[in-house]
Chain A
Amino acid sequence: MALDNIYDHDAFQNTKLTQRLLNEYQHNFPVTSTPYADIAERLGVNEQTVLDLLKELDDTNVLSRVGPVFRPNRVGVSTLAAMAVPEHKLEKVADIISSYSAVNHNYEREHHFNLWFVVTAENKEQLDNTLKDMQLKTDIRIMSLPMEKDYHIDLGFPLKLLEGGRSHDR
């Protein structure tokens, strides 16, 4: 490789590394004293490179976090809630709902029930109180649909699109 191409070469290597990080470490992340060094060793780079690439993913908001995904209702309780909000009130109501720290996902969906959000709490009583409070503040009835059974095994999200990347699954 010509010397004047060294930066492009680095960029290419980093894209490949980022892809491997995203593909191989959405699960089975090492729970060891030095997880990033362990990953680096497996990828054949140094620890700082792994940390830098993860920080870059974090800065660009691709990475939400590195950590556990808890099984629903094992740690705390949660429910999927839906509201039928008149169109002209939607933004205002959505802002009120998003302002609760108990809410993680909050989406508009194309349906009569047009606002869908997940509410979490430490226990059922706290969850019910939060839902009641939301109904009071928005003056809109909530349809609460708690999970009864989980059929899906979460193996992370398949990576198909990354600039210069190649599809490899399915």
Chain B
Amino acid sequence: MIDERQLISVLQNGIPLVSHPYAEIAREINSTEDEVINYIQLMQEKGDIKRFGLVVRHRKLGYKSNAMVVWDIAEENVDALGQCFGQFDFVTLSYRRPRKLPDWPYNLFCMIHGQDKEDVKRNLKLMIKACDVQSIQHELLFSTRCFKQRGAIYIHSDKTDRVAV
């Protein structure tokens, strides 16, 4: 039997760049290559794995600017607008989150990327027009400094703490 916790702990750091990466992972967690492959496929089918492949650092690809757009949207419209915003290729996240009144009135969050600030603003205008949300209150929060960016580590071990950031 494969230990899911162990497998995820190794997978979250990425698979090795060697001929038989899944066999190497299997050795690390005392499993077999077939078990590892089957379990990954199972997690893909269940939707626990959203995608599998190259994970790139967008800043290095010329997307120097990113901004979080937050919207204050009436409950009955959140689902439809969340989906509308989520369809653009420059939007990498579209999530509903709780409001925290009075400090924070926003309940829908999108991450928008662009080559520079102007590009991000153009992209936002495109979203506003396409999803017809001219009258909805929103704020654009540009990132000015990145202190840390790497894959999510859900399971902590000595090994994961050595991951380069």
* Chain A residues within CB distance 8 Å of chain B: 21-22, 25-29, 31-37, 47, 51, 54-55, 57-58, 60-72, 74-76, 78, 80, 82, 94-95, 97-98, 101-111, 113, 116-118, 120-122, 143, 145-162, 169-170
Contact = CB atoms under 8 A, between A and B. Distances in A.
A64 B55 contact: yes
Nearest to B13: A65
Contact of B141 (A106, A109, A162): A109
Contact of B142 (A67, A76, A110): A110
B155 to A, nearest CB: 6
A69 B152 CA distance: 9
Interface string B1-36: 000000010011111011111110000000001000
Nearest to B10: A67
Interface residues of B, number: 78
24 contacts: A35-B22, A62-B60, A65-B13, A67-B13, A67-B53, A68-B40, A68-B52, A69-B51, A70-B152, A71-B48, A74-B47, A75-B48, A97-B147, A98-B147, A104-B148, A105-B149, A106-B147, A121-B154, A145-B97, A145-B100, A145-B104, A151-B86, A154-B50, A162-B62
B57 A148 contact: no
Nearest to B55: A64
Interface of B: 8, 11-15, 17-23, 33, 37, 40-41, 43-44, 47-58, 60-63, 68, 78-79, 82-83, 85-86, 89-98, 100, 103-104, 109, 113, 115, 139, 141-156, 160-161, 165
A117 B94 CA distance: 16
Contacts of A31: 22, 37, 40-41, 44, 52
